[in-house]
Amino acid sequence: MTPRTLIELLDASRNTDRGITYLDSEQDSRTVSFDQLHGRALGILHHLQQLGARPGDQVILFLQRNEAFIDGFWAAILGGLIPVPVAVGISDEHRHKLLRIAAKLGNPLIFTERKTFDRISSFATEVGAGATFEALRNRAFIIEQLDDITTPGKIFTAKPEDTAFIQFSSGSTSDPKGIVLTHANLIANWQGAAAAARFSRDDISLSWMPLTHDMGLIGMHIFMLGSQMQLHQMPTELFVRRPLLWLQFASSRRATILCSPNFGYRHYLKVLGDRPIEGLDLTAVRIIFNGAEPISATLCEEFLARLAPARLARRAMFPVYGLAEASVAVSFPEPGSELLTLHLDRHQMSVGQQAAPIPADAPDALSLVSVGRAIPNCEVRIAAADDTPLTDNVFGHLQIRGGNVTSGYFEEPDANARLVTSDGWLRTGDLALQRNGALYITGRAKEILFVNGQNYYPHDLESIAIHADGMELGKLVVSGVRRPRAQTDELVVFALHRKDLADFVPVATQIARLINEHTGLEVAEVVPVNRIPKTTSGKIQRHLLEQDYIEGIYDAELRELARLRDSLRAPAAKGQSEIERKLATICESVMGESAMGGRRIGVTDNLFELGASSLKLIEIHEQIDREYPNQIDLTELFDYPTITELAAHLDAKLGASPSTAGA
């Protein structure tokens, strides 16, 4: 019998010989069968029910380890609780997001680790969210309290229309929206994806995607478990630190299904560099999902060409489209088909215009990759601004409907009223084109940035940056700018400034640091502009600033700013300690020449002012941990953001430690 709920989906997998293998390092792995997963989840459910959890209660999953997360997720599902995944992260904004979600939910439980929860306690006090945290404390289940999971909890009898879980938007920093997904939504999407990608019990999956992301949790866990294949789960932070392990694992485990957004392919190739491909056999790989952010045709080709010596099939690259409001999956190509690329004039893509292909090497050519056709249980259409359907080969708004599509956001009546058309189609906010039946995503109707597989709203980042001296709303514009032939967006901030450039240096530094500290994003440039272009109704015209940046209008000012920053750089301190020298070497090896200013890093430079992204911080921490094992926690880089401060803190720790390995 076909499962109708996630509870039935897990139960149907229990009698197979498949399960999940957790790959925590080259030497550390363990496999949990689906039957064992079911038993462990029931044991955790018993403790949650002892705490007072009842069907319909929400449980925030705020966990670092994949194994603990998956156990907790299924514990909630089996008990009729509503899991709410939230990324732990390393920045203040991740902690803010947790507290905002907890306040919005009202009275949720939380399943987390002691160390993680203690950090939230301190942070909540600092930001005046003590009441929200105290409510959480009274409903907290700490994983360290798990001393016995032999007593099973009581399984809930779910109905297809019941809420299965709530997936909060990944990017919005000020007002995360909870996408409500029912069991029926998820089962419909699993069935459609499984049919379109031809999943089978003979497939073997491998994922490093975070389980708090819809592609990681639904696409690479629920879909794979439901198809009763063998799963492999690699920690996201391990991929970030050692991306080459990803395909080493794929080779040794004979994986057939992989997944990554744009930034993962780019990160892998960057670390691979010029070294030869040796010891990899990727002949088993039949699908590499490519989604979660705009797909770069150039990057697809570069990745496939670079991995050709490992015998990775060109037709394995599988560009897809989806969004959390659709559970996850909307359109897939035909498995085993060639990449289909369309080249269009980037200036001739307005809603209602006919698409006119141009040569790939034309100066204004924008290369788009087809993301296939709608999968079963989901429909797509292209519509005009008034929701009138448009014909093939015409640019328009992408709308979807089907059994996989959410009924709306959690307690957001105004947003829900705008979400669906009068005839029942959900507005995705994306612009698209259907040409000969193939779907191409051409942009966003709403302003949004795609960074490292996550969505960020410019106004949210602007609300952080306006705390810089002299800034206020309307004087500052955040944009994602993609240069011609570039594989990804740059995060660029345009700031109104009509004084000497020397006066702008500290303002630009503040803006970059604020965004970086709060979100972990790397600012490519802060650009001084003498006017912010607006429409007659007062709406900021971001595209005009972006076009000027691409065309080099601001290049002279940016070169002068780089020179000024370099002249203001503090000279290297004399008599640097051995620890300072080692830390400086590590930071420079990761950061290279800083994006903000094009100069080398000084020991008194603030890493966040230089634009150290969360990815680079993880790399820096990895190298420090190799040199000084178990001495520095990743979050301490936020507390001691200069080499001098971190060295002094580390020196004090080493002095108090019985072991000073690496000193």
**Statement: residue 612 has pLDDT above 80:** no
Count CB-CB contacts under 10 A for residue 382: 21
- Greater confidence, 365 or 117? 117
Torsion of CA 230, 235, 240, 241, to 10 degrees: -110
**Statement: residue 446 has pLDDT above 70:** no
pLDDT band at residue 662 using 50, 70 and 90 as cut-offs: very low
Q: Which two tokens stand for residue 293?
A: 């952010």
**Statement: residue 610 has pLDDT above 90:** no
Average pLDDT over residues 103-124: 90
3-state secondary structure 68-114: HHHHHHHHHHHCCCEEEECCCCCCHHHHHHHHHHHHHHCCCEEEECH
SS3 content of the chain, % helix, strand, coil (to 5): 40, 20, 40
pLDDT band at residue 454 using 50, 70 and 90 as cut-offs: low
Q: Which two tokens stand for residue 525?
A: 């440039």
Helix (H) or strand (E) segment spanning residue 397:
strand 396-402
> Which one-letter DSSP state was computed for residue 163?
E
| Residue 428 CB-density burial (10 A; 0-12 exposed, 13-18 middle, 19+ buried) | buried
| Strand bridging mode 287-290 / 317-319 | parallel
Beta-ladder partners of 23: 29
**Amino acid identity of 216?**
G
Average pLDDT over residues 310-333: 96
pLDDT value of residue 188: 98
pLDDT, tens digit, 9 for 90 and up, residues 215-267: 999 999 999 999 999 999 999 989 988 999 999 999 999 999 999 988 889 88
pLDDT band at residue 279 using 50, 70 and 90 as cut-offs: very high
pLDDT band at residue 565 using 50, 70 and 90 as cut-offs: confident
pLDDT, tens digit, 9 for 90 and up, residues 333-377: 999 999 999 998 877 888 899 998 999 888 777 889 999 999 999
Average pLDDT over residues 404-414: 94
pLDDT value of residue 14: 95
pLDDT value of residue 448: 64
- CA gyration radius, the chain: 25
pLDDT value of residue 440: 95
**Statement: residue 575 has pLDDT above 70:** no
Chain center to CA of 261: 9
Q: How far apart are CA 297 and CA 305, in angstroms?
A: 12
DSSP class per residue in 611-631:
T--HHHHHHHHHHHHHHSTTT
- Which SS3 state, helix, strand or coil, does residue 181 take? strand
Any long-range contacts for 602-606 (C-beta under 8 Å, 24+ apart)?
A: 602/569, 602/570, 602/571, 602/572, 602/643, 603/572, 603/573, 603/576, 603/642, 603/643, 603/644, 603/647, 604/570, 604/573, 604/642, 604/643, 604/644, 605/569, 605/570, 605/642, 605/643, 606/513, 606/641, 606/642
Q: Are 385 and 371 in contact (CB under 8 A)?
A: no
Q: What is the tally of helices (H) and strands (E) in the chain?
A: 22, 27
pLDDT band at residue 185 using 50, 70 and 90 as cut-offs: very high
Average pLDDT over residues 586-604: 63
**Statement: residue 453 has pLDDT above 60:** no
Among 320-329, 516-525, 614-623, top mean pLDDT goes to 320-329
Which residue, among 596, 516, 522, 521, has the nearest Cα to 558 in the 3D structure?
Answer: 596
Q: Are 310 and 279 in contact (CB under 8 A)?
A: no
Q: Which two tokens stand for residue 303?
A: 């990745």
pLDDT, tens digit, 9 for 90 and up, residues 81-90: 999 999 887 7
pTM over 0.85: no
> Which one-letter DSSP state was computed for residue 641?
-
**Statement: residue 434 has pLDDT above 90:** yes
> Which one-letter DSSP state was computed for residue 538?
S
Cα–Cα separations (whole angstroms), residue 129 to 124, 518, 579: 5, 17, 38
Q: How far apart are CA 549 and CA 551, in angstroms?
A: 5
pLDDT band at residue 447 using 50, 70 and 90 as cut-offs: low
pLDDT value of residue 609: 63
Helix (H) or strand (E) segment spanning residue 663:
none
pLDDT band at residue 452 using 50, 70 and 90 as cut-offs: low
Q: How far apart are CA 443 and CA 550, in angstroms?
A: 17
- Residue ranges of alpha helices (H) inside 297-367 are 297-306
Q: Which residues contact 556 (CB under 8 A, 6 or more apart)?
A: none
- Tell me the residue length of the chain: 663
Cα–Cα separations (whole angstroms), residue 600 to 33, 84, 371, 565: 50, 43, 41, 11
- Greater confidence, 596 or 94? 94
Any long-range contacts for 237-240 (C-beta under 8 Å, 24+ apart)?
A: 237/618, 238/23, 238/24, 238/25, 238/208, 239/208, 239/264, 239/267, 240/267, 240/615, 240/618, 240/619
pLDDT value of residue 331: 98
Average pLDDT over residues 48-67: 95
**Amino acid identity of 644?**
T
Where in 306-383 does DSSP place strands (E)? 317-319, 321-322, 329-332, 341-345, 365-369, 373-374, 378-383
**Statement: residue 137 has pLDDT above 70:** yes
- Which SS3 state, helix, strand or coil, does residue 436 take? coil
What does the mean pLDDT of the chain come to? 87
**Amino acid identity of 539?**
K
| Residue 551 CB-density burial (10 A; 0-12 exposed, 13-18 middle, 19+ buried) | exposed
- Greater confidence, 43 or 660? 43
Q: How far apart are CA 357 and CA 290, in angstroms?
A: 24
Task: Return the minimum-mean-pLDDT range out of 108-122, 163-177, 403-417, 522-536.
Answer: 163-177
Vertex 264: Cα angle to 313 and 62 (nearest 5): 130
Which residue, among 597, 593, 643, has the nearest Cα to 505 in the 3D structure?
Answer: 597
- Residue ranges of alpha helices (H) inside 410-554 are 413-419, 458-465, 501-519, 542-550
